[in-house]
Chain A
Amino acid sequence: MNFIDALEKLADSYDYRFRNVKNVIEVPTKDYGWTNHRYTSPLFRLAHVEKFVQEKFAVVHVCVFPHVNDPSPIYGFDVIAGEQKATGLFFDLSPTVKPTEPFTNLKVDRPRERPEWGDIFSEHWIACRPTIEEFYVIAHEALLVLDNYMLTLHQTRANIDLVVQGQNRYCQQQKRNTHTAAALKRIIGDELTQEFMDTVLFPEITDSH
């Protein structure tokens, strides 16, 4: 398998997990020309699996936002790859109201520097340019972490305003990632890019009560 095939499989694995959560509901999502599945359930407020696959380029983006009274971190996994090479892989449980506990023992080679807007990520975040072998190991670990993460969701409660503030800040900072915007603009133009980022990728909570 090359990166493109592997990313397709990975996106399907994520999608399968969310689709099979008890009482899950698929959130209607506008068609931007590639696969975006979003779900809501009693376990999480919003889970999003984005799969963008072309012949020689693929992106998988996964994000899970806990409910607004849940202090659990935000699960995030992103990988961008060509057929033979990955440009970047990012994996984190990003904190909202309390520091994230270590979630993996994986150590990666060639770590990437934290971007200027990246203070939203936990100290344990993984960011690298993996080889295909490293990709398999990290992706497998990310799925296992997700399985464990889902078991811990909605087990404790926190102040809604603080969680909303934390989740919104995560979205605001993510939207400062110029690479995401630039890549999207090349495909769907300026206006739809803003709309996609605001409503699908990183929607902020405007009314939580």
Chain B
Amino acid sequence: MYNSLKEATAANHQKAEQTELVKLIFKKEIKDLEYSQLLANQIVYYSAIERNQHFKFENDLPRVTKIIQDLFELSPAMLLIMPESYQYADYLETLDERKLWAHVYVHYLGDMAGGQMLKRCVPGSGTRFDFVDPAGLISQIRMNVSIADATEANCAFEWTIRIYNELYRRIREIS
């Protein structure tokens, strides 16, 4: 039995961090074009979360505009949006507020918790990792999730891993 959501998702969290794409980021070896493709795909599913009618974001939690801004800064390239990203977005649109918080926990908390380190690893300014009050937002997210959301949070990790792996495969194919 797990005592916290963090514990219950630790295995998948670790798997996500060990994907080739994330390793490339941590090694500061991801190229502008490759990172642009990641941003373009993230826009698809972050948008699905942020436009969900059951969900009202507070403060500066919404990230889509900032991700697009980062994308604009980097690359004029043609964007490779993968079917997996659209499938994940479609899935997110079916969720109620409760389940959606589990996906916010995985993606947005990740942006905040690891944000300052990631900002130094990715190309460009990485404005998507800038939050006015990260501590406040982190506690807001934590208040809205519990161990009961483990299945959905693990589902968010599984989608992420799938998208990262597929994207890595495709960008390797291109380069």
Residues in chain A within 8 A of chain B (CB atoms): 1, 6, 9-10, 12-17, 20, 133, 136-137, 139-140, 143-144, 147
A105 to B, closest residue via Cβ: B51
| Interface residue B91 (Cβ < 8 Å from any Cβ of A) | no
Min CB distance, B59 to chain A, in Å?
Answer: 15
CA gap between A65 and B75 in the complex, in Å: 25
CA gap between A22 and B39 in the complex, in Å: 26
The A/B interface has a contact count, at CB < 8 Å, of 41
Besides A136-B69, A144-B79, 10 more A-B contacts (Cβ < 8 Å) are A1-B72, A1-B73, A6-B69, A9-B76, A13-B75, A14-B76, A16-B78, A17-B76, A140-B43, A140-B72
CA gap between A99 and B69 in the complex, in Å: 33
- When distances are taken between beta carbons in the complex, the residues of chain A under 8 Å from B76 are 9, 12-17
Cross-chain contact A147 with B78 (CB below 8 angstroms) = yes
Cross-chain contact B68 with A144 (CB below 8 angstroms) = no
Min CB distance, A86 to chain B, in Å?
Answer: 14
Q: Is the interface of A mostly helix, strand, loop or mixed?
A: helix
Cross-chain contact A147 with B72 (CB below 8 angstroms) = no
CA gap between A137 and B72 in the complex, in Å: 11
CA gap between A1 and B64 in the complex, in Å: 15
Cross-chain contact B72 with A10 (CB below 8 angstroms) = yes
Cross-chain contact A136 with B73 (CB below 8 angstroms) = no
B74 to A, closest residue via Cβ: A9
Q: Is the interface of B mostly helix, strand, loop or mixed?
A: helix
CA gap between A13 and B36 in the complex, in Å: 12
- When distances are taken between beta carbons in the complex, the residues of chain A under 8 Å from B69 are 1, 6, 136
- When distances are taken between beta carbons in the complex, the residues of chain B under 8 Å from A20 are 78
| Interface residue B65 (Cβ < 8 Å from any Cβ of A) | yes
CA gap between A133 and B62 in the complex, in Å: 11
Min CB distance, A128 to chain B, in Å?
Answer: 15
Cross-chain contact A136 with B65 (CB below 8 angstroms) = yes
A15 to B, closest residue via Cβ: B76
Min CB distance, A153 to chain B, in Å?
Answer: 14
| Interface residue B137 (Cβ < 8 Å from any Cβ of A) | no
Question: Which residues of chain B from 120 to 139 have any CB-CB distance to chain A below 8 Å in the complex?
Answer: none
Interface string of B31-57 (1 = CB under 8 A from A): 000000000000100000000000000
Cross-chain contact A147 with B77 (CB below 8 angstroms) = no
Min CB distance, B174 to chain A, in Å?
Answer: 13
CA gap between A171 and B115 in the complex, in Å: 49
Cross-chain contact A133 with B65 (CB below 8 angstroms) = yes
CA gap between A13 and B53 in the complex, in Å: 32
- Which of A15, A143, A147 gathers the greatest number of chain B CB atoms within 10 Å? A143
Q: Given the interface contacts A133-B65, A137-B64, does A6 sit within 8 Å of B72 by beta carbon?
A: yes
A16 to B, closest residue via Cβ: B76
Cross-chain contact A137 with B65 (CB below 8 angstroms) = yes
Q: Given the interface contacts A1-B73, A140-B43, does A147 sit within 8 Å of B79 by beta carbon?
A: yes
| Interface residue B71 (Cβ < 8 Å from any Cβ of A) | yes
B81 to A, closest residue via Cβ: A144
- When distances are taken between beta carbons in the complex, the residues of chain B under 8 Å from A6 are 69, 72
B69 to A, closest residue via Cβ: A136
Cross-chain contact B73 with A140 (CB below 8 angstroms) = no
For the complex of A and B, the 6 pairs showing the least CB-CB separation, nearest first, are A13-B76, A16-B76, A136-B68, A133-B65, A12-B76, A9-B72
User: Would you mind naming 11 contact pairs between A and B with Cβ atoms under 8 Å apart?
Assistant: A1-B69, A1-B72, A1-B73, A9-B72, A13-B72, A16-B77, A17-B76, A136-B72, A143-B79, A144-B81, A147-B79
